[in-house]
Amino acid sequence: MPRRFQALAVAAGVAAALALTGCSGWEYREDICSSGEYPVMTVNGTGSACVANGDEPPAGYVRYPEGKVPKQVDDKWDVYWRTHTLDKNGDIIDAP
């Protein structure tokens, strides 16, 4: 087999291997909020929104407890808050 075809075969094999392994070091993670915003959650529910830094949460929303704020979609806290919420007293409860 000529060298040129060998090089193409090797390159194709490497590309296929990379596609099959998913290149885990290049995983994209979407942020919960845009730059200049922070996430808030609904009281007694699993809804959420983003609020501009410096603004207070709108009526019916509260800040996440310190240290339990989701930063990226599907991170530890994003998953946790899908089944938990805060009641009107600020206590963590199971989501309805």
Q: What is the pLDDT of residues 26-59, one digit of tens each?
A: 778 899 999 999 999 999 999 999 999 999 999 9
| Whole-number pLDDT of residue 17 | 55
Q: What is the mean pLDDT of residues 10-36?
A: 71
The predicted model scores a pTM of: 0.70
Residue from 54, 60, 23, 26 nearest 38 by CA? 54
- Phi and psi of 5, rounded to 5°? -70, -30
Computed over every residue of the chain, the mean pLDDT equals 85
* Residue 70 near residue 64, CB atoms below 8 Å: yes
Residue from 36, 35, 31 nearest 69 by CA? 31
